[in-house]
Chain A
Amino acid sequence: MNSRLAAVSRTLLLGLAAGSLFAAAAAAGPIEDRQEDMKKVGKAMGQLAAIAKKEAAFDAAVVKAAGETIAESVKEFKNDFPEDSKDGPPETWAKAEIWSNMDDFNKKADDAVTAAMAMAAVTEESNFMPAMGALGGSCKACHENYRRPKQ
């Protein structure tokens, strides 16, 4: 892709992202709420992943903030699965199994909160990768059971 095309598509993407944020803020239901929370988690995970992949230097302040964001967002997220939010619109990737295994779903979310708080408490670089493994593992444990592929 040439650079002008790239710039145009980046602008378009940004526009789309801004648009969807706007839409979410305008019509907040449980599906929008949980998707917003998950976006925060994704952004914080991105910062941690950059450190893990050595694309960014270890920074205890970044790690603390990212860990806390994830913990808080997942705590919020847990509450956004009322019975009547199984189907959208908007499109949701939540599997019906969430509601038939709510105890397990909540336990997996709690595991993620615990792992995120442990991440927030990391001050030494040598403790970072084990915390990252536990945190990422908690994301996977839930996603592989309760998130379905996109349409």
Chain B
Amino acid sequence: MKRTIAALILLAGVAGIAGWIEAAPEPRPADSIAAHQPDLENGKRLYTAAGCLSCHLPTKDDTAADRSLPSGGTALHTPAGTFYPPNITPDPETGIGGWTDIQFVNAVKLGISPGGDHLLPAFPYTSYIHMSDADVLDIKAYIDTLSPVKAANKAPELPLYLPVEQVMRRGLGLWKLAAFKPAPFEPDPSKDEVWNRGAYIVTGPGHCGECHTPRNAFMAMDTSRWLAGGPHPEGVGKVPSLRDLQKRGRYKDANDLATALEFGETLGYDKMSSGGMGAVQTNMSKLPAEDRLAIATYIMSLD
């Protein structure tokens, strides 16, 4: 993701020179979401699958902070600067308390803040776009039940030579035109329900492709090499391919991979800890067994 951000900043510079270009996509209007009865259990499940807390975690230095709540602040160091994922607890002043359903949907699925700014794709709306409105609204309903935390957001720290935040955010609009296809997830009718459930979690909330799919010249996920592995977003090492896992002898079958996702190193699956996968595996361990099996079924089918 760091490389993405570096590319974005470059594009942002271009945008700055080109002038203040208004760039798509447009936020959706409030009446574009159907009436919805929130399902808190489903919201918690998807909040976990999406790993919301893993990034929106308070910093370790703040010893008073409750690290079970997504009050944000843990630095994300990238070559383009340091970013601080914001407070998403329902605090009305410093968090997202008081956001309307459509504001939340526009942020999560289109990367547009309630103020109309483009959000950095370090926030993986490029994957969350594949989630259904119902699931996104369930996540919001679940977040609304969490204790509000007063924790002010920190502005990103950009090196001096980079354009100011406003320019960057305009530039992001241009990047979205080039690299962001706001298309929802389409189930494959030739596959069964378990496979499609797995494909949905992996592609949408799980946002596995953000690290496991290499990026093209626009720093968008190269879907022709979907989940085929690539350089690690933090700049050192590689993210492994998730294709051909069985043939390459990594996992025996879908049950084996589901077990690995549930227990990780607890059962000696030592590839499940490094490079950020540890937090992902912890999240996976909290999902219902059927979701882990669905994820594993889908991934093991990739050749």
**For residue B275, which residue of chain A has the nearest CB?**
A149
Question: A113 interface residue, CB < 8 Å from B?
Answer: no
The size of the chain B interface, using a CB distance under 8 A, is 25
Q: Find out whether the CB atom of B268 lies under 8 angstroms from the CB atom of A49.
A: yes
Q: Classify the interface of chain A: helix, strand, loop or mixed.
A: helix
Task: Spot the interface stretch: A19-27, A57-65, A74-82, A135-143.
Answer: A135-143
B182 lies within 8 A of chain A by Cβ:
no
Cross-chain contact B273 with A150 (CB below 8 angstroms): no
B67 to chain A, nearest CB (A): 15
Q: Are A45 and B259 in contact (CB under 8 A)?
A: no
Q: How many residues of A contact B (CB 8 A)?
A: 23
Q: How far is the CA of A148 from the CA of B259 in the complex (A)?
A: 23
Q: Give chain A nearest CB distance to B100 CB in angstroms.
A: 37
A53 within 8 A of B: yes
Q: Which of B247, B268, B279 meets A48, CB within 8 Å?
A: B268
Interface string of B261-296 (1 = CB under 8 A from A): 001111111101111111101000000000000000
Cα distance, A143 to B268, chains bound together (Å):
12
Instruction: Tell whether, in the assembled complex, residue B237 and residue A150 are in contact, meaning their CB atoms are under 8 Å apart.
Output: yes
Interface residue? B239 (CB, 8 A)? yes
Instruction: Chain B residues near A46: list those with CB within 8 A.
Output: 268
B265 touches A136 (CB 8 A): yes
Q: In the complex, which residue of chain B has the Cβ closest to the Cβ of A148?
A: B237
Contact (Cβ within 8 A) A137 B237: no
Q: Could you say which of B237, B247, B264, B276 contacts A140, with CB atoms under 8 Å apart?
A: B264
Using an 8 Å CB-CB cutoff, how does the interface string of A122-151 with B read, 1 for contact, 0 for none? Answer: 000000000011011101100110011111
Closest B-chain residue to A95, C-beta based?
A: B236
Whether the Cβ atoms of B267 and A49 lie closer than 8 Å is yes
B2 at the interface (CB under 8 A from A): no
B residues near A148, Cβ cutoff 8 Å: 232, 236-237, 274-275
Determine whether B238 belongs to the interface, using a CB cutoff of 8 Å to chain A. Answer: yes
Contacts A149-B239, A150-B238 given; does A139 touch B279 at CB 8 Å = no
Interface centre among B240, B263, B272, B276 (most CB of A within 10 A): B263
Q: Decide if A136 touches B264 in the complex (CB within 8 Å).
A: yes
B232, B238, B270, B275 — most chain A CB neighbours (10 Å): B270
Set B238, B268, B272, B278: member contacting A45, Cβ < 8 A:
B268
Say yes or no: A143-B237 contact (C-beta < 8 A), given A42-B270, A49-B267, A52-B267.
no
B268 touches A133 (CB 8 A): no
B238 near A132 with CB under 8 A, answer no
A93, CB-defined interface residue at 8 Å: yes
Are B278 and A136 in contact (CB-based, < 8 A)? no
- Report Cα–Cα, A143/B205, bound state, in Å: 25
| B residues less than 8 Å from A49 (CB atoms) | 267-269
Sample 10 A-B pairs with CB under 8 A, ordered by A number.
A46-B268, A52-B266, A93-B274, A136-B266, A139-B270, A143-B265, A143-B278, A148-B232, A151-B236, A151-B237
Q: Identify 11 new A-B residue pairs, CB closer than 8 A, beyond the known A132-B267, A139-B273.
A: A42-B270, A136-B265, A139-B265, A139-B270, A140-B273, A143-B270, A144-B274, A144-B276, A148-B232, A151-B237, A151-B238
Sorted from nearest, which 3 A-B pairs have the closest CB atoms? A144-B278, A49-B268, A136-B266
